Amino acid sequence: MSHPLLSAAAVRRSADHLFALAGAGSLTHWHIDPEALPRAVDTVATTIRSAYPDLAIPYHARWRHFAVGGRDRWAQLSADLSAAERLEAAVEAVIVSVLLDAGAGTTWHVAEDGRRYHRSEGLAVASLAAYGAGVFSAGPSPRRVDAAALQRLDESALAPAFQVSAANPLPGMAGRVALLQRLGAVVAARTDVFPTGRLGAFAHSLAHRPAVAAEDILAAVLEVFGPVWPGGRQVAGVDLGDAWPHDQALEAGHVPFHKLSQWLSYSLLEPLEAAGITVTGLDGLTGLPEYRNGGLMIDTGLIVPRDPGLLTTPLSVGHPAVVEWRALTVAWLDRLRAPVARALTLDPDQFPLARLLEGGTWAAGRAIAARLRADGGPPLQLLLDGTVF
């Protein structure tokens, strides 16, 4: 059973609605400054030219983080797998890693070969190593994700893989474990999608046809994995996931984002394409409303707090100010794509959001945060629960 909020189109509609309210001065916590757009465009274009001088920008996906430090960990882990095995394994590895990719704070790290990796890159390195080591497997091979293993997972099993200790705490560990346990429950319950109890069977929901639209990938992710998300927000028995109440919401009293579901959908593009599936309609998905993209909007002046004290107030993910900020971020990302493409002398039609995000706004958000704040954190004080941020 679906719901109107469970789509990228609903995310875009809701974001544009709050963006219009902000432009009219009617949004409670923020206003927007279109005059800051040239600065933001220049910041992003400069970041892209620095990282990709040939402008050959890959998709924004978890695969970039798996190769951090110049080491292609996935190629090493999957070298002996057949094409069919590699597709299932890739889907498993990326689903688990994306679900674990919520905020890691400013001090946690994972050490590998004498190097330290923080935040998203550290979470990617740790999650992929955990996958290869069989932390999520109950089957004959360590490179599996099984319902049984996920359901019995606890912090004591996950913490060593993430090198968590009293001196190296990872925020939201309980939330991460609970998310994976709920994933296990979904895999166990949905025998129509996972007949063997293995997560990789989800690949067959997407790869049974020669072409698939990006929005259909997201629709499958939202339909199958909806019960994974915490919070209990339901309408007519349908899990709304990353959708939050707001008194100025356009529909159903909620503003949807589906950030991790969309991040996962972006990250599924490459395994599907490698399996010979054509993915169409990339810009059917939206930009991702997380703290790097959202931080860029505040730090370049596109989004401005009505009360400057808001930036120093600890805020939960469901706070109306965070809901508004995330919606304005989605709307501004849509409005950045074409001017950034023109600044790079690229055809906007050949410059999808998947490349803007990677090149791009996420990297620019991180870079400007590092310049402005000693800990490189976002401009808002977010309360991390290990599920969204």
Phi, psi of 116 (to 5 degrees): -115, 135
Burial state string for 72-94 with b = 16 or more CB within 10 A and e = fewer than 16: ebbeebbeeeeeeebbbbbbbbb
Strand partners, 165: 168
**Which residue matches tokens 């080591």?**
133
| pLDDT at 205 (0 to 100) | 87
Burial class of 210 by CB neighbour count within 10 A (0 to 12, 13 to 18, 19+): exposed
pLDDT digits (tens, 9 = 90+) for 17-43: 999 999 999 999 999 999 999 999 999
User: Rounded to an integer, what distance in angstroms lies between the CA atom of residue 364 and that of residue 372?
Assistant: 12
- Which element (helix H / strand E) includes 322? helix 320-343
Q: Which residues contact 247 (CB under 8 A, 6 or more apart)?
A: 253, 320
- Quick one: pLDDT band at residue 387, thresholds 50, 70, 90? low
**236 pLDDT above the threshold of 70:** no
CA distances from 125 to 84, 161, 230 (A): 24, 10, 25
Kindly state the average pLDDT of the residues 233-255: 84
- Quick one: pLDDT band at residue 235, thresholds 50, 70, 90? low
So where are the chain's domains? 8-372
- Quick one: pLDDT band at residue 230, thresholds 50, 70, 90? low
pLDDT digits (tens, 9 = 90+) for 166-192: 999 998 888 889 989 999 999 999 999
Q: pTM of this prediction?
A: 0.90
Q: Which residues contact 11 (CB under 8 A, 6 or more apart)?
A: 256, 257, 258, 262, 286, 330
| pLDDT at 231 (0 to 100) | 59
Burial class of 53 by CB neighbour count within 10 A (0 to 12, 13 to 18, 19+): exposed
User: Rounded to an integer, what distance in angstroms lies between the CA atom of residue 255 and that of residue 18?
Assistant: 9
Q: Which residues contact 75 (CB under 8 A, 6 or more apart)?
A: none
pLDDT digits (tens, 9 = 90+) for 46-62: 999 999 999 999 999 99
| pLDDT at 208 (0 to 100) | 80
Q: What is the mean pLDDT of the chain?
A: 92
Structure tokens at 133: 């080591």
Q: What is the percent of the chain where pLDDT is above 90?
A: 80
Closest CA to 335 of 381, 291, 303, 383: 303
**232 pLDDT above the threshold of 60:** no
Q: What is the CA radius of gyration of the chain?
A: 20
Strand partners, 166: none
Q: Is 171 helix (H, G, I), strand (E, B) or coil?
A: coil
